[in-house]
Chains A and B, each alone.
Chain A
Amino acid sequence: MSLILVITAVVTLLAAVAAMSLRNLVHSALTLAVSFSGVAAIYLQLNAEFAGFTEILVYVGAIAILIVMAILLTRSGETPEKSVLTSGWLAGIAVTALVFTILGWAVLSSSALPAAPAVPPHVTVKDIGMQLMTQYVLPLEIIGLVLTVAMIGAVVIACKEEAPARILPVVAKTTEPQPAPGNPAAPIPAAAGAFKKAGAA
């Protein structure tokens, strides 16, 4: 266990504590990126180079930026004046302490942990690609499907809803005095256009 590993772990944990306890959400997102970088550095020291670089690409590059975008879109970038904790935070802290006590006790007292092998594993990207394309090709396809579904789902959930049924009858009522003769469906698109113009103005 090298000194560098200890320092990296301490930085990672301090950044995680800061991300969870700072009041300003933008500061939280930035310290979260530091924490993810620390986890990537730990991966690099555990001879998992590919996982480390993937961590940087996915977490620091994509998820941290996504969180910053969500903070900006929900206008929660200012520091809140009120309390940032939920009403039942004491119970949460108690459950957390219990969880950590059990985990730490299990790690420190377990006799089933294997001793470290003398030679560190040497894994090239070619090995990983071979495994992904032979033994794990079905999980790879499924994960691609999951990512596609998640992307479409996220777009569908977050995209602006049109809500024509709720708004249009109100607008159509105001334009009732001049109905289009012979075509009962005509007033609604016209009203929609008028509403869009009024909204833009």
Chain B
Amino acid sequence: MNPLQFCLLVSALLFSIGFAGAVTRRHAILVLVGIELMLNAGNLNLIAFWRFGPHPEALTGFIFVLFSMALAAAEAAVGLALVIAIYRHKKTSNLDEVKELKG
């Protein structure tokens, strides 16, 4: 196994852990934590491809990771604000109890 494959496997595991947490945990904040882990796995993929790719001096994957981190920060801020707003309205952050939009 070469280092690129190792990094991609670590990233796939990290993505799977985050995905499992996001779809199985009941608390809204932990769903956001899972999404953050999945974003980290994507960033790790980009960095690995940048490092072991044919043209690392072009910096494409690297710059993409910086932008992706900024978007992750924005997403976390808005997501946690939504969790707090839902908690204020319904006095719960349990996702099984927030189902007004369920068809």
| A and B associate | yes
Is A84 a contact partner of B66 (Cβ separation < 8 A)? no
| Distance of A66 Cα from B82 Cα, bound (Å) | 13
For B59, give the chain A residue with the smallest CB separation.
Answer: A131
| Chain B binding surface, main DSSP class | helix
Interface membership of chain A positions 83-94, coded 1 if the CB is closer than 8 angstroms to chain B and 0 otherwise: 111110100110
**B93 to nearest A CB, angstroms?**
5
Does B32 contact A86, Cβ atoms closer than 8 Å? Answer: no
Bin chain A's interface residue count: 35 or more
Which among A1, A83, A107, A108 has the highest number of chain B CB atoms within 10 Å? A107
Which of chain A's residues 12-58 have a Cβ closer than 8 Å to chain B?
Answer: 12-13, 16-17, 19-21, 25, 28-29, 32, 35-36, 39, 42-43, 46-48, 50-51, 54-55, 58
Are the CB atoms of A46 and B33 closer together than 8 Å?
A: no
- Which residues on the A side are within 8 Å of B6 (C-beta)? 1, 5-6, 9
Q: Are B32 and A153 in contact (CB under 8 A)?
A: no
Contact yes or no, A70 B84, CB < 8 A: yes
Fill in one digit per residue for A49-79: 1 if any B CB lies within 8 Å of its CB, else 0: 0110011001100110011011101101000
Q: For the side of the interface on B, what is the size category?
A: 35 or more
Asked whether A63 lies within 8 Å of B76 as measured between CB atoms, the reply is yes
Contact B40 A47 (CB under 8 A): no
Contact of A46 among B17, B51, B74, B75 (CB under 8 A): B51
Contact, CB under 8 Å: A157 / B16: no
B residues with CB within 8 A of A: 1-10, 12-21, 23-27, 29-30, 32-34, 36-37, 40, 43-44, 47-48, 50-54, 56-57, 59, 62-63, 65-67, 69-78, 80-85, 87-88, 93, 95-96
